[in-house]
Structure 1
């Protein structure tokens, strides 16, 4: 663990703006989910991540220092750091419940795609990780809620926390566990 604080993610608007310039067919939350799935499944955090995650070799590498490059470096650092400072790129709390819940479900859809690309068909997962992956798949199939009350707001916060912990668990099995096994051999 490093003693220096991990830099945060770029803003969702900065990521959306750069994605628009590149004509990428997805939203910022879903792209971040894809990136995190790729990284959690053992994919490389190299600069060509965008083409790999989007499964399109024609997509150019993000420019160094751009919002997409910052998204890559911050996400990789957050996942690698064991202080649990990992964040999801989601709309701010002042956005509507529909927008925020939709973004969480989009994030989960992206995560599953990126994870599958990197981890393959039979990743080395614990029983807890298999259950977490199944729960993420259920969330990925969910629909955004139009409106709600304080109870729905609280439920969304719990879902976001579950997703965060599930990603760290999956990353632990696929990446940190593999690194540990390599050190033992």
Structure 2
């Protein structure tokens, strides 16, 4: 399994070469948002949605599709693990702070988009999930440049951890696997 920062560099570079104006953070955000919104872990429908949003509806080039599938497999595995193992696909800690901050904003944008595709009824959500989604909307609007200092590093790391934990909270409450579906009783009308 590739480290999240390595996956970010590989997939983002491929997308740049293909003139796709997105990055791996947004891709993972979309994928995780769809899963947290209730898309089945086993579903492949995210591929078409991803192509619609990052490649103007055209099929993704094979190399990007393969990397996105690898990333999706890692997401699914990490989301179902009991150890809160989700690793955000963001630039390495050595990257400039504003690059990491922008990637986090892209991740949150993607998450909100993917979540919205699969969860339109927020009345089912707990107050914690609703609060996390409101916070995500605030994070998505952030656009101030951050100084390269320790205080900004600390603040960014706290927001990154909050986003990571909140995404897992959403998945734990609303996400589902095929076994979850089989466990639900069938309604007979």
TM class by shorter-chain length?
0.7 to 0.9
Please state whether the residue corresponding to 2:10 is helix, strand or coil. Answer: helix
Q: Measure, in 2, the Cα distance between the counterparts of 1:65 and 1:43.
A: 19
State the Cα deviation string for residues 67-106 of structure 1 (Å, max 9, x = none). Answer: 2221111011111222111010000000111111111111
Q: Measure, in 2, the Cα distance between the counterparts of 1:86 and 1:162.
A: 12
Matched-pair contact (CA < 8 Å) for 2:35–2:115 = yes
Is residue 37 of structure 1 aligned with residue 33 of structure 2? yes
Deviation at 1:66, TM superposition (A): 2.7
Structure 2: where are the runs of 5+ without partners?
none
Q: Measure, in 1, the Cα distance between the counterparts of 2:123 and 2:28.
A: 21
Q: Measure, in 1, the Cα distance between the counterparts of 2:175 and 2:45.
A: 19
Q: Measure, in 2, the Cα distance between the counterparts of 1:76 and 1:174.
A: 14
Matched-pair contact (CA < 8 Å) for 2:15–2:64 = no
Deviation at 1:39, TM superposition (A): 1.2
Q: Name whichever structure is richer in helix by fraction.
A: 2
TM-score under structure 1 normalisation?
0.82
Match of 2:70 in 1: 70
Bigger Cα displacement from structure 2, 95-104 vs 12-21? 12-21
Deviation at 1:131, TM superposition (A): 0.4
Match of 1:24 in 2: 20
TM-score under structure 2 normalisation?
0.81
Matched-pair contact (CA < 8 Å) for 1:62–1:69 = no
Match of 1:161 in 2: 161
Greater RCO between the two (CA within 8 Å, min separation 6)?
A: 2
Match of 1:108 in 2: 108
- The RMSD of aligned alpha carbons is 2.8
Please state whether the residue corresponding to 2:122 is helix, strand or coil. Answer: coil
State the Cα deviation string for residues 21-47 of structure 1 (Å, max 9, x = none). Answer: 554331211111111111111124434
Please state whether the residue corresponding to 1:14 is helix, strand or coil. Answer: helix
Match of 1:14 in 2: 10
Q: Measure, in 2, the Cα distance between the counterparts of 1:61 and 1:112.
A: 24
Please state whether the residue corresponding to 1:66 is helix, strand or coil. Answer: helix
Matched-pair contact (CA < 8 Å) for 2:129–2:169 = yes
